[in-house]
Structure formats: C-alpha cells, structure tokens
C-alpha cells in the first residue's frame, strides 16, 4: 500500500539547498506541465475516474489537485518574495477535492498547470541565490522554511502525482 500511496517515495526534507539542487528542482517544475499532460493523455475516461489506490483520489481528482496545489505554490512564492517571512494560508485539500470543479474535464486543469508553471519558472529563473533563502511560515505544519524548500517540495509533488497517474495506466 505504501508503494501505491508514495510511488516515488516520501518527500525527503533537504538538509541544505545548494544552487545546483535548486536549478534541478526548477527544471523539474519547468518540465512538469508536459510530463503530467503526457501521463494524463494516456488515460481513458474510465481510468480518469478510477482511484489509483484504495481510498485514494481518482486520476481526475489528482490532476485538478495538482492545479490547485501549484496555484497555491505560485502565491506562496510571490508572498515570500514580497513580504518578510509571510504566514502562508493553508487549505483543505480533501475538501477542495469534493468541490464541483473536480468533475470538470482534465484539460481545464492541464492548461492551468501549464500557465501557472510558466509564471513560477519565469520568477524562479530570475532569482539570485539570496532570494532562495527568504523565509515563509506555514501555520498548519508549524514550520518556517526558505523559498528553496518550496522548489524541492513542488518538484517532488509534481513527480509524485504524475507517478499516481502512471499507476492507472499499468
């Protein structure tokens, strides 16, 4: 069950944030829209409406969730760059997944992922090393971390959910 829930493994908190690693995570964010679109387009409607694991989301919900999550990532990125140690707003992923827009065709969210990532990468590509050290606070999980952490987390998050979609096609 663990391999279905975390097909690429659990997120591992980096001990350090070297620029080489940051550039790799940014490149992962750059390629996510094409990767997730490829995995999603390999699925038929029945597969999209199938859960990738018992008590897990459907493929359709996964795609809409990635769009929502990465929109939040963009907002958290911008807050971190424009405020001193902002407190980011948590949201209920489970409740959001029950909203009516999660029944929309996947193209709406695939396009959203593409456009959100265009913004994320445009910002990240222009940052200096010092910018990646800017801090934000997450009240739900009670941590303060650097912006570089967001790069690592969302790099993993995109791969994690793309792997879930690939499970539906095996």
pLDDT score of 170: 78
Sign of CA dihedral 125, 128, 155, 71: negative
CB 62 within 8 Å of CB 161: yes
| Residue 114 CA, distance from chain mean position | 12
Q: Could you list the pLDDT tens digit for every one of the 170 residues in the chain? A: 788 999 999 999 999 999 999 999 999 999 999 999 999 999 999 999 999 999 999 999 999 999 999 999 999 999 999 999 999 999 999 999 999 999 999 999 999 999 999 999 999 999 999 999 999 999 999 999 999 999 999 999 999 999 999 999 97
pTM over 0.85: yes
CATH class of 18-167: mainly alpha
pLDDT score of 2: 83
CB 22 within 8 Å of CB 125: no
Separation in Å, CA 110 to CA 16, 140, 142, 145, 146: 32, 28, 31, 29, 28
Instruction: Name the residue ranges covered by the structural domains of the chain.
Output: 18-167
């Amino acid at each position: 069950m663990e391999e279905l829930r975390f097909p690429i493994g659990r997120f591992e908190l980096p001990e350090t944030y070297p620029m080489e690693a940051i550039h790799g995570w940014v490149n992962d964010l750059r390629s996510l829209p094409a990767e997730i679109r490829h995995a999603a387009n390999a699925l038929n409607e029945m597969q999209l409406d199938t859960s990738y694991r018992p008590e897990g989301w459907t493929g359709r919900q996964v795609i809409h969730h990635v769009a929502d999550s990465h929109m939040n990532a963009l907002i958290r990125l911008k807050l971190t760059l424009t405020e001193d140690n902002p407190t980011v707003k948590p949201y209920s992923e489970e409740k959001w997944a029950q909203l009516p827009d999660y029944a929309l065709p996947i193209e709406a969210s695939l396009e959203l992922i593409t456009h959100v990532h265009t913004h994320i990468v445009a910002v990240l590509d222009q940052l200096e090393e010092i910018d990646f050290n800017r801090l934000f606070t997450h009240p739900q999980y009670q941590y303060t971390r650097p912006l570089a952490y967001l790069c690592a987390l969302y790099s993993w998050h995109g791969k994690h959910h793309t792997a879930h979609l690939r499970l539906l096609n095996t």
